[in-house]
Amino acid sequence: MILGRAFAFISFSFFVSSVNAGEIGAKLNTQIELLPSCSINGQIVENNTVNLNFGNIDFGEVSSAFSGVLDASLVNNGNAGFQIQCAGISTVKVIFGAGNNDSNVPSSFSQNYYHALTNGTSFVAYNLLYGLNKQVIKSNEVFIFNDMNIKKNIDIFGQAINDGSRISKGEYRDVVPITIEF
């Protein structure tokens, strides 16, 4: 869900002056005001826009008993991360919500990993990471971005882990909602 302002406000005023015999007076006043808006991955967002796709993190194919850490980047239409720019807005708040499977992170990784991928049967622990220093993003963590008149690239990475324990075959997924307030 996107919260913010992306309206075109149009107001019309109609004033009638006092009417004397033989004269009619009227004054029309029109005002158009464009409020600030944001562009995410080149798409203009409107107030309360929902279901934008920020991209995918694809860890690739692995064996059902993989061991170690897998790293991947968020990719959206060939770009790494996602881009955001807001005309006339100085500060934007980005909130990364809880994933659909956060309550099913395998217990051996639950101290350091906050999300889980699933194929409907098995679960694989993973984290979302932000920026070049790869800061771990916890559920409902808030990031504040300033100077939004300049396009910002928000670099997001994923890191999945397994200890060699067998997982069932299949395609593993999770969905993490992102809220952008401006």
Nearest Cα to 126, choosing from 58, 77, 178? 58
Q: For the chain, which residues make up each domain, given as ranges?
A: 52-181
- Give the distance from CA 54 to its chain's centroid: 6
pLDDT band at 52 (very low <50, low <70, confident <90, very high): confident
Name 41's bridge partners. Answer: none
Q: pTM value? A: 0.76
Contact status, residue 97 vs residue 104, Cβ threshold 8 Å: no
Q: Which residues of 167-177 are buried (b: 16+ CB within 10 A; e: fewer)?
A: beeeebebebe
pLDDT in tens, 119-144: 999 999 999 999 989 999 999 999 99
Nearest Cα to 52, choosing from 60, 43, 61? 43
pLDDT band at 7 (very low <50, low <70, confident <90, very high): very low
Q: What is the CATH number of domain 52-181?
A: 2.60.40.1090
3 state DSSP class of 34:
strand
Mean pLDDT, rounded, for 165-182: 90
